[in-house]
Structure 1
Amino acid sequence: MPVPSAPGGAAGPATPPAPHITRRGLALAGLATAQFMVVLDSSIVNVALPSIRRGLDLTPAQLSWVVDGYLVAFAGLLLLGGRLADVFGRRAVLLGGLTAFAAASALCALAPNGPVLVGARIAQGAAGAVMAPAALSIVMTLFPDGPDRARALGVWGGVSGAGGIAGVLLGGVLSQTLGWPWIFVINVPVALAVGAVVLVSVRPFPAAGGSFDIAGAVTVTLAMAGLALGVVMGSDAGWTAPVTPAALVLGLAALAAFVALERRAARPLVPLRVLARPRLAVANTIMLLLGATAAGLFYFLPQYQQNVLGMSPLTTSLTQLPIALTITAGGLLAPRVAAVLGVRLALTTALAWLAVGLAWLARADPHARFLDGLLGPFLLIGAGLGTAFVYVTTLAVAGSAPGETGLVSGLVNTARQMGGAVGLAALVALATATGTPAGTGTPAGHQPNLTAAFLGAAALAATALLLSLTSALHHPAPTAASPLLPGQRTST
C-alpha cells in the first residue's frame, strides 16, 4: 500500500552515536516500530471501511473523511513536524507524538458516531506527522554515513513495506473476528511499548531552539481541508448548497495566504524558489497524481470486493496481498530496473502498468473471480505503484543543491499526501454523483459508481504518464552531490 513517508528534511548532520544512545539495536527497533505503526494505520483502515460504514451508519461523504481526515492532517503538518523536532528536541517530540497517537487511537475505537471518528482520525494524522519525521531524524543523526546508516535505512525501508502488508492482512482479520474498533485498539499498547523503548535506549537530544513557520502549516492545512471538503460536499449536499462554495472559497483563500506568507517568512515551511524549478515542479505534480490514484484505489477497492463481490473482510485482505507484495517487491527491484532502462523510461513504464491495471480493474464485472478477474490487474497495479513512487522521488531529488536533498524529499512526500487527500475527495465526488440512488433495491442503500471511480483513478495515472514524457524531467542532470540510486541513468 502506498503509505505516508517522513520527510528527510528533519534530519540534522550526522553525529557520533555515543552521546545520545545507550543501546543502538534496541533504539533502532523502537524507532522503526514507530514508523511501522504510522504505515500500518494508513493501510489497516481500508479493508475495514465497509464495516465502519455499517457500524456507524455513515454516508459515502462521511466515510471518505475517515481516510481524508488522516491524510489532510498528516500532509499539512508533515514538514512542520520535522521542524518541531529540531526546535523542541527530537526525543521529546517523538514521545509527545506517541502519546497523542495512542490517545487518538483509543478515541477512534470508542467513537459513537461519524463526527467523533473523523475528529479522532484528524488527531491521529497530526500525531503521525510529528512522530514520523522525529523518529527518522533520530535514526539519521545517530547512524553516521557508511554501512551503519545503510543498514539502518534498510531496516527502515523494510519496516515500511512490512507495515503496508501487515495493515492489509490485519485489517481483515481484526474487523471480521473482533470488530472494526480493534484496528485502532491495537495501536495503544504498541505506542506505549515504543515509548518505553525510546525512554530507556535514547538519551535526550538538546533542543536547537529557534522559530518555526506555524502560520504556513496552518494555512496549507486549511487549504487542503477546504478544497477536499468542498469537492466532497459538492456531490453530497449539492454544488449550490452554502457549505460547498464556502469550503472551496476557504480553501482557495488559505492557499493564497500560504503563498503570501511563504514569500515573506524568514524560515518558510516551503521555500517557493525551490518549488519553481521545472524538474521538481513536474515531479511533485506526478507524485500528487500518484497519491490521488493510490488513495482512491485503496478506498474503493474494499467496497467493490465486499459490497459487490460479496467477499468477507478476511478474504478481501488475503486477495489484496498480491498488491501489497508487488508494491514492496517493486520498490526493492526499482534500482535494478532503472539501471537497465534509465530512471525516466522506467518511470514511464511503471505509470503505463498502473494505468492499464486500473482500466482493467474498471472492466471487472459483479461476478468477477479472483484468479481470472482480479489477480492480473492487481499485479500490474502493485508493480506500477511500487516502482513509480521510487522513481519520482529519485528524479525530484536528483540535481538538488547540497543541503537541499532533505527539503526536496519532504516536499515530494508532502505532495503525495496532499494528492491523496484532495484526489480522494474528487474521486468520491465522481463516484457519488454517478452512483445508484437509494431505494432501488441495491445493497446498503446508495451505492457509489465504482467503475467510474476506477476509471477516474486510471485517468489520473494516465495524466501522470503524459507528464513523465515532458522534457522537464531531463534537465538539470543530477549532480555528484545528489546522485541517483546506484547504477541508474536519467534517460535512455
Structure 2
Amino acid sequence: MTTLAPVSNTATASDRGSGATLAVLLGAYMLIALDATVVSVALPALQRQMHFSATALSWVPNAYALTFGGLLLLGSRVGDVLGRRRAFSAGVALFTIASLLGGLAPNAGLLLAARAVQGVGAALSTPNVLALIAVNFDEGPARNRALSFYSAGAGLGGSLGMLLGGALTSWLSWRWALLINVPVGVVVALAAPRVIREPERQPGRFDVAGAITGTLGSTVLVYGVLRASDRGWTDALALATLTAAALLLISFLAVELKARQPLLPLEFLRDRGRIGAYLNMFLIPAGMFPTFFLLTLYFQEVLGYSALRTGLGFLPMTLVLFTTVRLMPRVLARVNLRAVLVTGAALVVLGGVWLTRLSEHGGYPAQLLGPLVLIGLGGGMSFMPMSALVLRGVTPARSGAAAGLLQTLQWTGGTVGTAVLVSLFSNTSRHGTGSAAHRLVQGIDAAFVLGTAVAAAAVLVATLVIRDRKA
C-alpha cells in the first residue's frame, strides 16, 4: 500500500477518491485530449476565413503539439516542487485563457500564439492528472477503477473532438472549436481546490540542467519530426534538428545520472515491467493516433462524408474503447497482466492489417466498422494496464515524475507516429497512379502498413520484456 504524505488543504478525507475528484481530473484530461483533434476537422473552414497559407495552416495543430510535447517532463517536476494541485489548476487556467484568446483571435499570428500557449497549459496540467490520481486513490481496486476512466480519456477525447469539431464547424463557426473549452475549463479550475487532495510538496530545488536539456531535447525532437513530415526526411534543417535532439537527450540522461534531485529518476528504468510499459506507451499511440487523421481523409475525400458524419464514423471505436477500459479492473483480477497487454496489442495489429485493405469503392460496414472495433478493443486493453504497471509501487514523492514520463512518451509517440505516417502517406499518394481517390487510398494503405508494423513491435515488447504476471 502506498503511504500518503500528510496534507493540509480544503478537501476532507471523505473527499478522497470520490466521484467529484475523478470528475474534475478527467474533465481537464478530456479537454486536453479533445483539443488534439477538435481543431483538425475545422482546418478547411479556418483556412478560408483566416487566409492561412498551406504551410501556416499546418502550424495550427503543430504549435500546440510542439509546446505540449516539449514541456511535459518539466510540467511534472513543477507539480512535484510547487504542488501538484496548484500546478494542475494553473495549467487548466492557462489553457482556458488561451482557448478564449484563440477563439477570438483576429488574425493568424495571434491564433498560432494562442495555440502554443494552450500547449504550455496542457503540459502543466496533464502529467499532474495522473499524479493526483495516484495520490487521491489507493493502489489496488480504487486506483484501477480511476485509471480505467483515465485510460479512456485520450481515445474518448480524440473521438469526441472529431464529432464536436464537425458539429460546431457545420452549425456555428470554427471559433467554437476553441471557445467550447472555456466554460468547462472555468468549472474545473474553480472546483479543483475544493475536491482534489493535495499531497505535501517535495522539498528541494529544480534540476535546472536537466530541465534545460530535457525540455530542449523534447521540443527540438518534436519540431524536427514535424519539419521532416512537412519538408521531407532529406531536408537539411530537419536532419540537423533531429541530430541536435539526439545530442540533447543524451546530455539529459548524462545529467540525470549525476543529479541529486533529478527531473527523471532513473531508478524507474530498473524495473523490467515498467520499462516495457513505457516502451509500449510510445509504440501503441504511434500506431493508433494517426488513424484519426488518415481515416478523416478517407471519410471526407473518398466516401464524401460531412465533418459531422466523419465524427460519427469514429463513434464505434470510442464506445468499444470506453466499455473495455471500464471492464479492465475486473479482468485484471482474474487474468495475468502480460496476457492482457499482449492480446491488446495484437488486436491493434489485426485492426491495422484490415485497414491496409481499404479501397475507393468500399463502404463503411465492410471496410471500417470491423477494424475500428478491433482498435478500440485493443487500445482499451492496453492503456489502463500500462498506466497501472507504471504507477505500481511508486511513492507519492515520485508519482509526478513517473506520470510525466508516461505522458511524455504517450503524446510524443502519437505526434511522432502521426508525422511519420502522414509523411509516408503524402509521398505515396503523390507518386501513385490512377484517379485522385485511388492515389489517396494508396497513400493511406501504405501508411497503415507502417502503423501496423509499429503496433507489431508493441506485441513483441509485451511478450518479451514484460514478465510481470501480477494484476
TM bucket by the smaller chain? 0.7 to 0.9
Tell me the CA shift for residue 200 of structure 1. Answer: 6.3
Q: Aligned partners of 1:462, 1:150: CA distance in 2, in Å?
A: 26
- Alignment of 1:292 onto 2:286: yes
Q: 1:447 to 1:26 in 2, by over 3 A?
A: closer
Higher helix share: 2
Percentage of pairs with the same residue:
36
Task: Provide Cα deviations, 1:430-456, integer angstroms capped at 9, x if missing partner.
Answer: 222223279x9849x999922222222
| Runs of 5+ unmatched residues, structure 2 | none
CA distance in 2, matches of 1:336, 1:150: 9
Change (3 A) 1:294 1:362: same
Give the gaps of 5 or more residues in structure 1.
1-10, 479-483, 486-492
Which of 361, 364, 368 is 1:367 aligned to? 361
| Inter-partner Cα distance in structure 2 for 1:400 and 1:90 | 16
Q: How many residues align?
A: 465
8 Å contact 2:345–2:459 — kept in the other structure? yes
Q: Which amino acid aligns with 1:372?
A: A
SS in 2 for 1:435: helix
Report the CA distance between 1:312 and its aligned residue.
Answer: 0.5
Q: Report the CA distance shift for 1:346/1:168 in structure 2 as closer, same or farther (over 3 A).
A: same
Match of 1:174 among 168, 175, 185: 168
CA contact (8 A) 2:50 2:108 kept: yes
Q: Displacement, 1:378?
A: 0.9
On the 8 A contact 2:96/2:185 being kept in 1, the answer is yes
* Deviates most, 43-52 or 259-268: 43-52
Query: Among 91, 95, 98, which residue is 1:97 paired with?
Result: 91
Pair 425,312 (structure 1): closer, same or farther in 2 beyond 3 Å:
same
Contact 2:141 / 2:329 at 8 angstroms: preserved in 1? no
Letter in 2 for 1:473: I
Q: 1:473 aligns with which of 462, 466, 470?
A: 466
C-alpha distance in structure 2 between counterparts of 1:353 and 1:253, whole Å: 36
For 1:416-431, what aligned pairs fall within 5 Å after superposition?
Answer: 416-431=410-425
After TM superposition, list the pairs within 5 Å mapping 1:261-272 onto structure 2.
261-272=255-266
Q: 1:34 aligns with which of 25, 28, 34?
A: 28
Pick the aligned partner of 1:460 from 437, 454, 461: 454
Question: Offset at 1:298?
Answer: 1.7
Cα distance in 1 for residues equivalent to 2:194 and 2:462:
47
Aligned partners of 2:128 and 2:400 also within 8 Å: no
Whichever residue aligns with residue 303 of structure 1, its letter is L
Q: Does 1:194 align with 2:188?
A: yes
2: distance between equivalents of 1:119 and 1:240? 29
Q: Cα–Cα, structure 1 residues 414 and 365, in superposed 2: closer, same or farther, change >3 Å?
A: same
> Quick check: 2:74–2:215 contact (8 Å CA) kept in 1?
no
- Residue 186 of structure 1 deviates from its aligned partner by 0.9
Aligned to 1:70: 64
* 1:227–1:251 Cα contact (<8 Å) kept: yes
Q: Secondary structure at the match of 1:100?
A: helix
Quote the Cα distance in structure 1 between the aligned partners of 2:445 and 2:111. Answer: 28
Correspondences of 1:157-236 after superposition (within 5 Å): 163-164=157-158, 166-198=160-192, 209-234=203-228, 236=230
- Find the aligned partners of 1:53 and 1:12 in 2 and give their Cα distance: 52
Counterpart for residue 313 of structure 2: 319
**1:271-322 CA distances to partner (integer Å, 9 max, x unpaired)?**
2343254433333222211121122112222122112221111101111100
Q: Tell me the TM-score normalised to structure 2 length.
A: 0.83
Mapping 1:314-393, distance limit 5 Å: 314-338=308-332, 341-393=335-387
Is the contact between residue 77 and residue 401 of structure 2 (CA under 8 Å) also seen in structure 1? no
| Aligned alpha-carbon RMSD (Å) | 3.9
Partner of 2:275: 281
- Letter of the 2:71 partner, please give it: L
Q: Is the 8 A contact 1:102 1:191 kept in 2?
A: yes
State how far apart, in whole Å, the 2-side matches of 1:134 and 1:395 are: 17
- Secondary structure (helix, strand or coil) at the match of 1:366 reads coil
Relative to 1, partners in 2 of residues 1:366 and 1:158: Cα closer, same or farther, differing over 3 Å? Answer: closer
SS at structure 2 position matched to 1:365:
coil
The amino acid that maps onto 2:309 is T
Cα drift, residue 122 of structure 1: 3.0
- Change beyond 3 A, Cα 1:228–1:115: farther
* CA drift at 1:466: 2.4
- Say whether the 8 Å CA contact 1:82–1:130 is kept in structure 2: yes
Counterpart CA distance in 2 for 1:22 and 1:345 is 36
**Quick one: distance in 2 between partners of 1:57 and 1:442?**
25
Alpha-carbon distance in structure 2 between the residues aligned to 1:51 and 1:186 = 17
Cα distance in 2 for residues equivalent to 1:336 and 1:26: 19
- Aligned residue identity for 2:121: A
Amino acid paired to 1:388: S
Question: What SS does the corresponding residue of 1:473 show, helix, strand or coil?
Answer: coil
**Number of the residue aligned with 1:13:** 4
The code of the aligned residue for 2:337 comes to V
Q: Distance in 1 between matches of 2:254 and 2:275?
A: 19
Partner of 1:363, secondary structure, is coil
Partner in structure 2 of residue 4 of structure 1: none
Q: What's the CA shift string for 1:317-368, capped at 9, x where partnerless? A: 1111001111111212234445555322222222221112112122111233
How far apart in 2 are the matches of 1:147 and 1:279?
20
2:148–2:328: 8 Å Cα contact kept in structure 1? no
2:252 to 258, 269, 273: 258
Q: CA 1:22–1:331 in structure 2 vs 1: closer, same or farther (change >3 Å)?
A: closer
Query: Which residue number corresponds to residue 433 of structure 1?
Result: 427
Query: Measured at CA, do residues 168 and 276 of structure 1 come closer, stay the same or move farther in structure 2, by a change above 3 Å?
Result: same
Calculate the TM-score normalised by the size of structure 1: 0.79
Deviation at 1:40, TM superposition (A): 2.7
Q: Is the 8 A contact 1:21 1:202 kept in 2?
A: no
Matched residue type, 1:461? A
Instruction: Give the Cα–Cα distance (whole angstroms) in 2 for the partners of residues 405 and 192 of structure 1.
Output: 26
SS in 2 for 1:469: helix
- 2:147–2:387 CA contact under 8 A, matched in 1: no
Moved more, 58-67 or 27-36: 58-67
Q: Are 1:72 and 1:225, in contact at CA under 8 Å, matched by a contact in 2?
A: yes
Instruction: Identify the range of structure 1 (328-337 vs 152-161) with the bigger mean alpha-carbon deviation.
Output: 152-161
The match for 2:102 is 108
